[in-house]
Structure 1
Amino acid sequence: MNETFPEVAMLTASLARLAALAALSSVSVAALACETLRMEEGGIVTSVTDGDTVILDDGRVVRMIGTQAPKLPLDRPDFPTWPLAPEAKAALEALALQKPVRLGFGGEEMDRYGRVLAHVFVATPEGEIWAQQSMVAAGMARVYSFPDNRSCLDLLFAAEGRARLAGLGIWRDPYYRIIAATAPGDLLARAGHYELVEGRVLLAEQRGGRVYLNFGRFWKEDFTAVIEAPALRLFKAAGIDPLTLENALLRIRGWVDDRDGPRIEVTHPEQIEVLALQ
């Protein structure tokens, strides 16, 4: 563990562990994944809504927690189809449609829309396949986590990294490219979108109940990651001090907004990946 930055080891898995996880097959990962999940039988998948949502034979709608696939309009007026959204739906249909599944719960189990929030494990003759890992590994979804649902993320990050390096699926489409923190204009053009942003923190400071990770010299114009008080409690519980991230090269993921320049609100530690300390 780094003596100067002990918290960094808690923000990112070791390279050896990530390499080992990336080498596992989908069936192997399903067998090892998320031992702390509460498991239950799910029934049969009777339809697929999009690349991260399925409907079971008992009528339950299951949002596959931990991932975000390209979005379809789904009767939303003026909502554009994201690139590769039909392909992501087709990939999930090929994986899960008309097959029995088990559901794994590691956090909040239902959202405000009445959807079940679960990890989905699909029965196959070769063994169970973890649907989230399979979709992310194929480049048909990104890792997308919530402060109240943070299980299994190291495995999903490993799968995403492998897919991104290989240029699979969404990672070969410019729509999903990682945006440089030094390009505030590009980020402002993506306000209202979920993005991955990479850059070096020039200044980490706490003001009031918030921590600001500033990626540029002009805080009213440049990109900033903002950690509010509720999120800081999660960082503290994990033994992480975000102020130690000054000068670190980070990847931040989240929804971009425009308040005194482009920002992402960090609601839990897993939104931050440490790429380098200096």
Structure 2
Amino acid sequence: MSITMFFGGAAFACETLKPGPKGRVVEVTDGDTVILDGGEKIRLIGMQAPKLPLGRVGFEKWPFADEAQVFLSAYSLGKNVRIYYGGARKDRHGRVLGHMFVDDDREKWAQIAMIGAGLARVYSFSDNRHCLDELLMAERQARTDRKGIWAHPYYKLRDAHKPQLLEKRDGYYELVEGRIFDVGDTTYRVYLNFGREWKTDFTVVIDRRAVKQFTEAGIDLQKIEGALVRVRGWIDVDDGPRIDVTHPEQIEILALK
């Protein structure tokens, strides 16, 4: 077992993708959304680019949102693409969820290009977990090289052991690193506690229904006490800052002890 790893495995490799629609990109809405000439609105799954307001009143544009849109436009606008499904095929807004390849070429993968350029973060869902091996590797390299967003404090890794600072990120998508102090197990949830005071310290909350996915991935949550981990998700404040984890790929184990 390598020191740097993440929950998941070969079962979610890209060979499992299923062919979806083809078309020419006629509009790039933002850094992770395009529209094809057939009218399909494509949300590039597996990543999250910095967000533009897109008409939302009071929404503050994220740093590097313009750069992300410009990069994706240069990469795909006016080009023929093929979409491949990696799980759920549409979201509640009717957008197609897929991985996009220019000219149906596996060497021209939009998600890898965006993440590798430091213009998007890995962002996954419990019903769409394919290709995360490659995406996480690309993100790690971009972060190491301080490309794009990784040189900006808005996107810096957060310290799990500074809960007062995490509370200020309430409602933000964050990557948080720290060592698990202990693991709590109740009827409905598993708690990964990062300090002695669960009412104020940072906590990862895993719904009991999601525990099966960890077990299937070969992960015993009761045995990761003391592990140094990186967690990604939306910060919520409820008895201290917390992230709700719905699937294993939201957690990377950096060191077991």
TM-score band w.r.t. shorter chain: over 0.9
Aligned partner letter, 1:217? R
Q: Percent identity?
A: 55
- Paired with 2:80 and 2:55, the residues of 1 have a C-alpha distance of 28
1:142 aligns with 2:138: no
Aligned residue for 1:119?
Answer: 99
Aligned partner letter, 2:184? E
Aligned residue for 2:65?
Answer: 85
- Paired with 1:34 and 1:112, the residues of 2 have a C-alpha distance of 24
| Contact kept in structure 1, 2:187 and 2:208, CA below 8 Å | no
Counterpart of 2:75 in 1: which secondary structure?
Answer: helix
Higher mean C-alpha displacement, 128-137 vs 151-160:
128-137
Aligned partner letter, 2:16? T
| Contact kept in structure 1, 2:22 and 2:82, CA below 8 Å | yes
Tell me how far 1:40 sits from its aligned partner.
3.3
Aligned residue for 2:179?
Answer: 200
Aligned residue for 1:54?
Answer: 34
1:164-183 to structure 2, matched below 5 A, reads 164-183=143-162
- Paired with 2:237 and 2:45, the residues of 1 have a C-alpha distance of 27
Tell me how large the CA RMSD over aligned residues is. 1.9
Q: Give CA deviations for 1:64-91 in whole Å, capped at 9, x if unaligned.
A: 0000000000011100000000000000
Aligned residue for 1:25?
Answer: none
1:210-225 to structure 2, matched below 5 A, reads 210-225=189-204
1:225-264 to structure 2, matched below 5 A, reads 225-264=204-243
- Paired with 1:211 and 1:233, the residues of 2 have a C-alpha distance of 12
Aligned partner letter, 2:144? L
Q: Which structure is higher in RCO with an 8 Å CA cutoff and minimum separation 6?
A: 2
Tell me how far 1:117 sits from its aligned partner.
0.2
- Paired with 1:187 and 1:131, the residues of 2 have a C-alpha distance of 31
Aligned residue for 1:5?
Answer: none
Per the normalisation by structure 2, the TM-score is: 0.94
Structure 2, unaligned stretches of length 5 or more? none
Tell me how far 1:243 sits from its aligned partner.
1.5
Counterpart of 2:14 in 1: which secondary structure?
Answer: coil
Q: Give CA deviations for 1:98-128 in whole Å, capped at 9, x if unaligned.
A: 000011111000000000000000129x874
| Contact kept in structure 1, 2:175 and 2:232, CA below 8 Å | yes
Counterpart of 2:70 in 1: which secondary structure?
Answer: helix
Tell me how far 1:12 sits from its aligned partner.
6.4
Aligned residue for 1:97?
Answer: 77
- Runs of 4+ in structure 1 over 3 Å off: none
Pick closer, same or farther for the CA change 1:116–1:235 going to 2, 3 Å. Answer: same
Aligned partner letter, 2:102? V
- Paired with 1:106 and 1:176, the residues of 2 have a C-alpha distance of 26
Aligned residue for 2:51?
Answer: 71
Structure 1, unaligned stretches of length 5 or more? 3-7, 14-32
Tell me how far 1:134 sits from its aligned partner.
0.5
Tell me how far 1:41 sits from its aligned partner.
4.2
Tell me how far 1:43 sits from its aligned partner.
0.5
- Name which of 88, 95, 99 aligns with 1:108: 88
